[in-house]
């Protein structure tokens, strides 16, 4: 079996090898501290050996629950936000046929909610669900997140009105805390099937718990292969693998060296639009894990070649504070050859007979060379193909590297204290009970 591979050769000319060595030298101690649970955020290390330790009984339970939803529902709404949303969406969108959703071929179709507070979005979703048999996977670790709770209230009411209480009870599933939060209380009260998000796994590291696995199974994908990919990567990035051979360590050390040298922005790049939501998931993982204590690389993402026609200019010639990490998929799933055209009015006959992917690969190579020439350090991740197995490898690789990278940076990679600030203001502005003082203070400020 092949593995995803990391190549940092085109980043090395931009950094001090001594500085990178020193980060690599720190990996042994940092890995040990992760392994022994002595690092910052030590209460949230449950993700570290999750792939190799998921009980078969949990996988079976997830598959059985998914089978019920797949059998009963035309549509399943996955409600969640941030870490309770992006992982599942990343895996599903990478594997889905790009147009099957539009042609109505998917049964059940999966749609997402609870990740915004859009009145138009929710109204249009309600219209779409009208007359359809639909189920809901309500995902929230805290069980109190406003965006998700609000969407769930609207969807639960519609499901019960439209499909009946018994159908709703059978096809609403909660993924939440074992004991705390409104989602848990409601699941127990209503008798919904539920899964537990382990206390020691933070939202953005939870894709390999039922948070990610249940929606992926409902979408009809092979969660065992996904977990196997992650478990194999767990070994490849294990604490006993020397730093110079450990891709998570190499990625973490290289990006920290670049950051120390003034490269403050990392752009994650794909040349395959199916990976768009993998980028979104990655942005949250790195943004929430590292952006604190006035530190942290800003994680940005682009879809190429699409965004070469919007962001390409900036990347090529803008402020030289960026580096890029390109994810390259070696083999496409389908085969499509450029046809020859007798008249050749578009001048494209020089491409006739070539695979579309060959054109894409040359665009990728040309772009990487241009960017390196333009002063953008480049790291390259090669992924043999888009499949459950390799997405499992990729996501675990990023998780392990993120933990090491955050620790190298000197922050706690597993908390997100800053996320509370907007919530406090929103609750104060909305006059939530318990926020009376904050309400007064903020209305005074707005006068």
Answer yes or no whether residue 89 interacts with ligand PA5 by CB under 6 A. Answer: no
Answer yes or no whether residue 212 interacts with ligand PA5 by CB under 6 A. Answer: no
| Shortest Cβ 193–ligand PA5 spacing (Å) | 18
The closest alpha carbon to 84, from 211, 218, 216, 178, belongs to 211
d(CA 27, CA 22): 9
Q: Which of 49, 423, 436, 440 is catalytic?
A: 423
| Shortest Cβ 140–ligand PA5 spacing (Å) | 3
Answer yes or no whether residue 142 interacts with ligand PA5 by CB under 6 A. Answer: yes
With CB under 6 A as the contact rule, which of the stretches 134-142, 158-166, 228-236, 359-367 interacts with ligand PA5?
Answer: 134-142
Q: Which of 41, 202, 215, 296 binds ligand PA5 (CB under 6 A)?
A: 202
- Integer-rounded Cα Rg, in Å, for the chain is 23
With CB under 6 A as the contact rule, which of the stretches 44-52, 77-85, 152-160, 273-281 interacts with ligand PA5?
Answer: 77-85
Q: Which of 93, 147, 288, 388 is catalytic?
A: 288
- Taking a C-beta distance cutoff of 8 angstroms, is the pair 444, 330 a contact? no
| Shortest Cβ 298–ligand PA5 spacing (Å) | 17
309 catalytic, yes or no? yes
With CB under 6 A as the contact rule, which of the stretches 78-86, 119-127, 232-240, 369-377 interacts with ligand PA5?
Answer: 78-86
DSSP H helical ranges for 140-269:
146-163, 165-171, 182-190, 210-218, 223-236, 247-260
Sheet of 75-79, strand order: 109-113, 75-79, 134-140, 172-176, 193-196
Answer yes or no whether residue 148 interacts with ligand PA5 by CB under 6 A. Answer: yes
d(CA 328, CA 305): 12
Answer yes or no whether residue 108 interacts with ligand PA5 by CB under 6 A. Answer: no
Nearest residue (CB) to ligand PA5, 90 versus 109? 90
- Taking a C-beta distance cutoff of 8 angstroms, is the pair 296, 265 a contact? no
Q: How many CB atoms lie within 10 A of CB 40?
A: 14
Contacts of 303 (CB under 8 A, 6+ apart): 270, 273, 275, 276, 279
Answer yes or no whether residue 81 interacts with ligand PA5 by CB under 6 A. Answer: yes
Answer yes or no whether residue 194 interacts with ligand PA5 by CB under 6 A. Answer: no
- Taking a C-beta distance cutoff of 8 angstroms, is the pair 32, 406 a contact? no
| Shortest Cβ 233–ligand PA5 spacing (Å) | 20
- Taking a C-beta distance cutoff of 8 angstroms, is the pair 194, 175 a contact? yes
Q: Which of 288, 290, 303, 388 binds ligand PA5 (CB under 6 A)?
A: 288
Answer yes or no whether residue 416 interacts with ligand PA5 by CB under 6 A. Answer: yes
Nearest residue (CB) to ligand PA5, 41 versus 51? 41
Answer yes or no whether residue 136 interacts with ligand PA5 by CB under 6 A. Answer: no
| Shortest Cβ 157–ligand PA5 spacing (Å) | 20
d(CA 82, CA 215): 15
Per DSSP, the residues of 270-295 read ESSGGGHHHHHHHHHHHHHHH-BTTB
H or E, element range at 78: strand 75-79
List the helix and strand counts (H, then E) for the chain.
17, 10
Answer yes or no whether residue 84 interacts with ligand PA5 by CB under 6 A. Answer: yes
**C-alpha distances in angstroms, 301 versus 283, 298, 307, 326, 428?**
7, 10, 10, 10, 33
Interface with ligand PA5: number of residues (CB under 6 A): 14
With CB under 6 A as the contact rule, which of the stretches 202-210, 265-273, 330-338, 433-441 interacts with ligand PA5?
Answer: 202-210
Answer yes or no whether residue 145 interacts with ligand PA5 by CB under 6 A. Answer: yes
Answer yes or no whether residue 83 interacts with ligand PA5 by CB under 6 A. Answer: yes
Q: Which of 119, 245, 309, 420 is catalytic?
A: 309
Angle between helices 388-409 and 276-290 (to 10 degrees): 20
Nearest residue (CB) to ligand PA5, 111 versus 150? 150
Tallying the residues shown for the chain, one arrives at 447
Answer yes or no whether residue 270 interacts with ligand PA5 by CB under 6 A. Answer: no
DSSP state of 139: E
| Shortest Cβ 32–ligand PA5 spacing (Å) | 25
Answer yes or no whether residue 209 interacts with ligand PA5 by CB under 6 A. Answer: no
With CB under 6 A as the contact rule, which of the stretches 136-144, 229-237, 357-365, 381-389 interacts with ligand PA5?
Answer: 136-144
Apex 174 CA angle, 196 and 121, nearest 5 = 135
Which residues are catalytically annotated?
A: 288, 309, 423
Interaction site with ligand PA5 (CB under 6 A): 81-84, 140-142, 145, 148, 202-204, 288, 416
């Amino acid at each position: 079996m092949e593995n995803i591979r990391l190549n940092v050769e085109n980043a090395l000319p931009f950094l001090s090898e001594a500085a990178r060595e020193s980060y690599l030298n720190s990996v042994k101690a940092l890995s040990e501290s992760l392994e022994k649970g002595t690092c910052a955020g030590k209460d949230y290390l449950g993700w570290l050996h999750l792939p190799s330790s998921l009980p078969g009984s949990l996988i079976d339970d997830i598959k059985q629950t998914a089978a019920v939803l797949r059998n009963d529902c035309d549509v399943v709404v996955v409600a969640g936000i941030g870490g309770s949303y992006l992982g599942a969406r990343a895996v599903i969108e990478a594997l889905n046929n790009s147009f099957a959703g539009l042609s109505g071929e998917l049964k059940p179709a999966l749609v997402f909610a609870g990740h915004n507070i859009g009145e138009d979005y929710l109204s249009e979703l309600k219209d779409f669900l009208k007359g359809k048999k639909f189920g809901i996977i309500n995902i929230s670790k805290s069980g109190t997140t406003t965006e998700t709770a609000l969407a769930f209230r609207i969807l639960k009411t519609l499901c019960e009105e439209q499909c009946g209480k018994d159908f709703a009870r059978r096809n609403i599933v909660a993924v939440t805390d074992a004991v705390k939060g409104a989602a848990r209380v409601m699941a127990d009260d209503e008798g919904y099937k539920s899964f537990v998000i382990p206390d020691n796994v933070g939202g953005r590291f939870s894709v390999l718990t039922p948070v990610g696995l249940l929606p992926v199974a409902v979408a009809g994908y092979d969660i065992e292969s996904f977990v196997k990919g992650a478990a194999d990567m767990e070994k490849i990035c294990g604490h006993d693998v020397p730093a110079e051979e450990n891709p998570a360590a190499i990625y973490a050390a290289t990006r920290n060296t670049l950051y120390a040298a003034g490269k403050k922005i990392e752009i994650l790049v794909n040349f395959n639009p199916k990976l768009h939501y993998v980028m979104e998931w990655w942005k949250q993982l790195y943004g929430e894990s590292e952006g604190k204590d006035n530190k942290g690389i800003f994680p940005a993402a682009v879809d190429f070649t699409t965004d070469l026609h919007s962001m390409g200019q900036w990347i090529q010639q803008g402020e030289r504070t960026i580096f890029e990490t390109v994810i390259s998929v070696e083999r496409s799933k389908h085969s499509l050859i450029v046809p020859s055209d007798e008249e050749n009015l578009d001048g494209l006959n020089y491409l006739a007979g070539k695979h579309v992917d060959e054109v894409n690969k040359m665009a990728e190579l040309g772009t990487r060379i241009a960017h390196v020439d333009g002063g953008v350090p480049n790291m390259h991740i090669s992924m043999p193909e888009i499949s459950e197995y390799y997405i499992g490898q990729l996501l675990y690789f990023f998780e392990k590297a993120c933990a090491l990278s955050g620790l190298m940076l000197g922050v706690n990679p597993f908390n997100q204290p800053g996320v509370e600030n907007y919530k406090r203001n929103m609750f104060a502005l909305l006059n939530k009970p318990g926020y009376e003082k904050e309400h007064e203070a903020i209305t005074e400020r707005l006068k």
